[in-house]
């Protein structure tokens, strides 16, 4: 889609203001200078819209200029060159005019930029490329390893695909990698981007979120979601989707789990309560220690004695009950 932007401060741009000084010698009244200043601005703006619409990348031919200004074409083209709106290239039948390229004044998207964006969108929507890329890389950015969210279309941790060769169509999955939008935007189309943000090796055990697992399953590739991490988190390499590792993790409890099962709680025999009340006590439950500054722990009350007090209003005292 053609796109043209005119800056909000175009009215006070030095090029626009320069027109008045250019006309000062040949026009006597301020009114005449202001009228032609506005006429020239409108002329250049219309030429810019036609240049953008027909993929001319800032260039305007005399025939296009004539379609805008008619008999005043030569006069306005001359003023546009004198004031800095345009640069004349060539002469005679080959003459053409290039509109000033200033992002703060007049800026249009080039044909090559639009074509590249269209190619990127096409590659990113091609299952023949994206499915093997997501299967290989999982949800981790290949430049910073953070977990990305492919549903996020704007955030820095949103998931996307980065073309390894900027400006070149992806021919195979080797030409694409999973990337967060922050790294993708930082690399842009810089040929030296690998020196600033190098590519990391593909993960041995890819991290698969629920969305990616569903996406792959739709293309007959079944993977097990690793675990639920928020986008932007760093994947824990100790937890993988490898069945062997998962089996090992279920057979071998972590150290903290082993310690928790080996703790022997010392319960005061004078305290009565349910049999599972001791299960809620933690190691060093207040019954041993060397003092406030020592190794003792804070007393953890028995849950059976921490219930809220009930109102006794209207209840007879024990001694007042009838036998």
Q: What CA–CA distance (Å, rounded) separates 104 from 95? A: 27
Q: What CA–CA distance (Å, rounded) separates 1 from 121? A: 14
Query: Domain 4-108 has what CATH class?
Result: mainly alpha
Q: What CA–CA distance (Å, rounded) separates 87 from 96? A: 8
Per-residue pLDDT of the chain (323 residues; tens, 9 = 90+): 667 889 999 989 999 988 877 777 666 577 788 889 999 999 999 999 999 999 999 999 999 999 999 999 999 999 999 999 999 998 887 899 999 999 899 999 888 888 888 898 999 999 999 999 999 999 999 999 999 999 998 899 999 999 998 888 999 999 999 999 999 999 988 888 999 999 999 999 999 999 999 999 999 999 999 876 555 555 554 343 444 444 333 333 333 333 333 333 333 444 344 334 334 333 444 444 444 444 444 444 444 444 455 555 555 555 554 44
H helix intervals, the chain: 14-23, 30-53, 62-69, 73-83, 111-124, 127-137, 181-187, 193-196, 210-217, 243-251, 255-262
First to last CA, the chain: 95
For residue 174, what are its two tokens?
A: 């080797």
Q: What is the DSSP letter of 157?
A: T
Percentages helix, strand, coil for the chain (3-state, rounded to 5) are: 45, 10, 45
Every domain of the chain with CATH number 1.10.10 lies at 4-108
For residue 225, what are its two tokens?
A: 């979601």
pTM as predicted: 0.55
Report helix, strand or coil for 34.
helix
């Amino acid at each position: 889609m053609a796109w043209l932007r005119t800056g909000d401060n175009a009215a006070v741009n030095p090029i626009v203001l320069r027109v008045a000084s250019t006309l000062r010698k040949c026009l006597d009244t301020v009114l005449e200078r202001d009228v032609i200043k506005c006429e020239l601005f409108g002329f250049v703006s219309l030429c810019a819209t036609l240049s953008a619409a027909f993929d001319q990348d800032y260039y305007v031919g005399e025939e296009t200029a004539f379609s805008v200004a008619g008999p005043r074409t030569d006069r306005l083209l001359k003023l546009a060159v004198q004031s800095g709106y345009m640069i004349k290239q060539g002469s005679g039948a080959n003459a053409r005019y290039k509109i000033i390229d200033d992002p703060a004044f007049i800026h249009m998207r080039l044909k090559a930029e639009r074509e590249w964006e269209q190619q990127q969108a096409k590659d990113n929507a091609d299952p023949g490329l994206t499915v093997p890329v997501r299967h290989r890389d999982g949800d981790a950015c290949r430049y910073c390893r953070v977990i990305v969210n492919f549903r996020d279309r704007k955030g820095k941790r949103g998931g996307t695909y980065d073309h390894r060769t900027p400006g070149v169509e992806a021919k195979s999955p080797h030409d694409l990698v999973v990337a967060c939008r922050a790294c993708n935007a930082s690399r842009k189309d810089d040929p030296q981007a690998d020196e600033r943000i190098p590519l990391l090796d593909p993960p041995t055990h890819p991290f698969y979120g629920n969305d990616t697992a569903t996406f792959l399953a739709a293309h007959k590739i079944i993977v097990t979601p690793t675990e639920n991490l928020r986008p932007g988190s760093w994947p824990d390499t100790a937890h993988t989707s490898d069945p062997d590792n998962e089996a090992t993790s279920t057979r071998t409890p972590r150290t903290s789990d082993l310690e928790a099962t080996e703790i022997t709680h010392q319960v005061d025999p004078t305290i009565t309560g349910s049999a599972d009340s001791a299960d809620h006590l933690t190691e060093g439950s207040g019954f041993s220690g060397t003092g406030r500054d020592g190794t003792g722990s804070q007393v953890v009350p028995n849950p059976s004695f921490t219930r809220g007090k009930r109102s006794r209003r209207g209840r007879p005292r024990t001694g007042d009950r009838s036998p």
